[in-house]
Chain A
């Protein structure tokens, strides 16, 4: 089955540390990839997305992600995290179902805690 894998389920960092969260997808066709974030007590919201073009994508709040087709990866990075980056992070990709629909598929998420 097509899937999205996030390898780091819990990450704890100190402020100013660098962050990289792994995401791998299992689909070899046209790729569209997303990172969503859920801050404590808030809705899931889009952090960044890749559709085509430059494989290095920049999102909100200083986050970026790099699409590496050969590795089926879309890792999320931030050079220097802040306490306010404490949140759950989800990688997602739409998969083509046998019925012809595109089904949004999410990884299980990474819980990031940043200590001040």
Chain B
């Protein structure tokens, strides 16, 4: 399968713990996006990367959220000191980045449950 992959698919954690999610984009896709999706809502943009550069992070939900893409390939999203309100599906998407308006290729998501 050469699509976008995310790991883990499910994560259950206790409030106050840190969690880290990984996303592997489609090979040679320069842009990588992170979204959060809650029940009954569409994907909510969090941040994105062009290669290793994080170009937009103003939409990260709080300073507890951070993302990296150190070598321009896979990316990680970390949530520190998790809260129950962080429970959601976290989606990753990628695209070639050749134009500003490329479609998004989505991964299966990581479902986070904070107890």
Question: How far in angstroms is the closest Cβ of chain A from B94?
Answer: 12
Chain A residues 33-77 with CB under 8 Å of chain B are: 34, 36, 43-46, 49, 51
By the criterion CB–CB under 8 Å, are B108 and A43 in contact? yes
Question: How far in angstroms is the closest Cβ of chain B from A27?
Answer: 13
Q: Which residues of B contact A104 (CB under 8 A)?
A: 33, 43, 45, 104
Interface size, B (range): 20 to 34
Once A43-B3, A44-B43, A90-B42 are accepted as A-B contacts, the answer to whether A34 and B103 lie under 8 Å apart by CB is: yes
Interface size, A (range): 20 to 34
By the criterion CB–CB under 8 Å, are A103 and B45 in contact? yes
By the criterion CB–CB under 8 Å, are B40 and A109 in contact? yes
By the criterion CB–CB under 8 Å, are B106 and A45 in contact? yes
Task: Tell me the bound Cα distance from A9 to B55 in angstroms.
Answer: 32
By the criterion CB–CB under 8 Å, are A108 and B40 in contact? yes
Question: How far in angstroms is the closest Cβ of chain B from A77?
Answer: 20
Contact of B48 among A49, A51, A92, A101 (CB under 8 A): A101
Question: How far in angstroms is the closest Cβ of chain B from A93?
Answer: 9
